[in-house]
A and B are shown apart, each in its own frame.
Chain A
């Protein structure tokens, strides 16, 4: 799902970045946010709603709505749509409010 060629933009080949999602190793590229890397891997469900456990994904993608909250390196409520992806990050679906 990565756009390689675009009529206006130049998407250069970037270095791969490996990270863990729910225990499994997957890859993004340098410059990705956590959410964009997950999306590129076909992962749209990022967490579950607190009470009804409905699947949740991102909505605004620029840090305004908090729909994209996930647990990153043990820390909950991380807005994954604006958090840059780093090598070795451990990312998990957030279920419930998250332990602070």
Chain B
């Protein structure tokens, strides 16, 4: 079994940034991703990002992905990329089990960084299993990665940033968005995203939810209804929407299976999306030598994932004995960036989530 210096599981924004920092300092990285392409969810993000210049604000997600990939490819001699490789097991002695096609093999890491991201949630409603009911990210994948229209007429469920952004991207792909329904009384994502789709004719209905999907082999129409202040459906308020696709955008849940198998402490914190690994301020889990960063430690944005990747990279280097010039100052600056990204009203959930998790010193 081969021993690697640093194994990074997941080549999304957090994993790529961690790889960059570690390669830059002279260490070796084995970067593993189950997809053919690196970049994680960035590959579908056609919109311009928020944040500051340090997080590539105003650049499109897909362009940021290429920037990060170019950064790591500059260190090709010390970078091993295992793509189309699933990590199917992770053990206390820092051994991981991998599956590439039909080939199974094991690797051992001096340090491991888990940056596996998150998975889309769903909601219960009658016939929610009909073909045509898709996670919003799935629709984004079809359109932006494969160039296939998901359908002709969509209803979007959920007004978080993903629901608002994917509605806009559907319009750009030539797909009608009949309405966006949100169960809460207020829009939960950025108002600028909401304004953008309203002026393009997408009706945003708050205190409204989907009651059922209707169709034989796939969605042919849906029934929506109003919700009262206790979030119960109001009988008699049902309306039929003529759509063939239902996009569900109700939040993400961190993919922590590997952490759980490893025996790292995992805690359920609703504000962070579900089960999250317990990490200290240096992003190390309760298993020495195993770190985690990005959406897997709490659902946020790609901008914070990138900063967390940089912080984790520098901490891994320190623990491996590398002396990185100006590491202290860099870490301080990165923590400042995170603070500003998390300071506004939209990040109040994340802040209380972090408080709940606590950071072991």
Residues of A within 8 A of B (CB): 1-3, 6-9, 11, 31-33, 36, 39-40, 44-46, 49, 54-65, 81-82, 84
Residue contact A82 to B137, C-beta cutoff 8 Å: no
Given contacts A8-B172, A55-B130, contact A45 B217 (CB under 8 A): yes
In the assembled complex, the Cα of A62 lies from the Cα of B34 at a distance in Å of 10
Q: Which of B87-130 contact A (CB under 8 A)?
A: 119-120, 122, 129-130
B331 → A minimal CB distance (Å): 32
Residues from chain B with a CB closer than 8 A to the CB of A31 are 146
Residues of B within 8 A of A (CB): 34-36, 46, 60, 62, 119-120, 122, 129-135, 137-139, 141-150, 172-174, 216-218, 255
A75 → B minimal CB distance (Å): 10
Looking across the interface, which residue of chain B has its beta carbon closest to that of A14? B147
Residue contact A59 to B133, C-beta cutoff 8 Å: yes
**Which of A36, A64, A81, A82 counts the most B-chain CB atoms under 10 A from its CB?**
A64
Query: What are 20 A-B pairs at a CB distance below 8 A?
Result: A3-B143, A3-B173, A7-B172, A9-B144, A11-B147, A32-B146, A36-B142, A40-B146, A40-B148, A44-B217, A44-B218, A45-B131, A54-B129, A55-B217, A57-B132, A57-B134, A60-B120, A61-B137, A62-B138, A82-B34
Partner of A3, one of B129, B130, B149, B217: B149
Residue contact A60 to B129, C-beta cutoff 8 Å: no
In the assembled complex, the Cα of A49 lies from the Cα of B146 at a distance in Å of 26
Residues from chain B with a CB closer than 8 A to the CB of A7 are 172
Residue contact A2 to B147, C-beta cutoff 8 Å: yes
Looking across the interface, which residue of chain B has its beta carbon closest to that of A7? B172
**Which of A2, A8, A49 counts the most B-chain CB atoms under 10 A from its CB?**
A8
In the assembled complex, the Cα of A61 lies from the Cα of B12 at a distance in Å of 16
Residues from chain A with a CB closer than 8 A to the CB of B142 are 36, 39, 61
Known: A61-B142, A81-B138, A81-B141. 4 other contacts (CB 8 A): A6-B173, A32-B146, A56-B129, A57-B132
Partner of B148, one of A39, A45, A65: A39
In the assembled complex, the Cα of A8 lies from the Cα of B36 at a distance in Å of 22
Residue contact A61 to B147, C-beta cutoff 8 Å: no
Residue contact B119 to A64, C-beta cutoff 8 Å: yes
Residue contact A60 to B135, C-beta cutoff 8 Å: yes
Given contacts A1-B149, A46-B131, contact A60 B34 (CB under 8 A): no
Residue contact B138 to A61, C-beta cutoff 8 Å: yes
Given contacts A6-B147, A55-B217, contact A65 B119 (CB under 8 A): yes
Q: Give the A-B pair count, Cβ closer than 8 A.
A: 96
Given contacts A3-B147, A9-B144, contact A57 B218 (CB under 8 A): yes
Residue contact A59 to B46, C-beta cutoff 8 Å: no
Residues from chain B with a CB closer than 8 A to the CB of A46 are 131
Residue contact A58 to B129, C-beta cutoff 8 Å: no
Residue contact A57 to B131, C-beta cutoff 8 Å: yes
Given contacts A9-B147, A44-B131, contact A3 B174 (CB under 8 A): yes
Given contacts A6-B173, A57-B132, contact A33 B218 (CB under 8 A): no
A30 → B minimal CB distance (Å): 11
Residue contact B146 to A8, C-beta cutoff 8 Å: no
Residue contact A36 to B146, C-beta cutoff 8 Å: yes
In the assembled complex, the Cα of A64 lies from the Cα of B35 at a distance in Å of 12
* The 4 A-B residue pairs with the shortest CB-CB distance in the complex, in nearest-first order: A57-B131, A61-B138, A44-B131, A36-B146
Residue contact A60 to B137, C-beta cutoff 8 Å: yes
Residues from chain A with a CB closer than 8 A to the CB of B130 are 54-55, 57
Partner of A59, one of B34, B122, B150: B122
Given contacts A6-B173, A45-B217, A82-B34, contact A59 B148 (CB under 8 A): no
Partner of A33, one of B143, B146, B172: B146
In the assembled complex, the Cα of A54 lies from the Cα of B131 at a distance in Å of 10
Looking across the interface, which residue of chain A has its beta carbon closest to that of B86? A63
In the assembled complex, the Cα of A8 lies from the Cα of B43 at a distance in Å of 13
Residues from chain B with a CB closer than 8 A to the CB of A2 are 147-149
In the assembled complex, the Cα of A61 lies from the Cα of B344 at a distance in Å of 32
Residue contact B134 to A6, C-beta cutoff 8 Å: no
A63 → B minimal CB distance (Å): 6
In the assembled complex, the Cα of A49 lies from the Cα of B128 at a distance in Å of 13
Given contacts A8-B172, A9-B46, A45-B218, contact A58 B147 (CB under 8 A): no
Given contacts A9-B46, A61-B137, contact A56 B146 (CB under 8 A): no
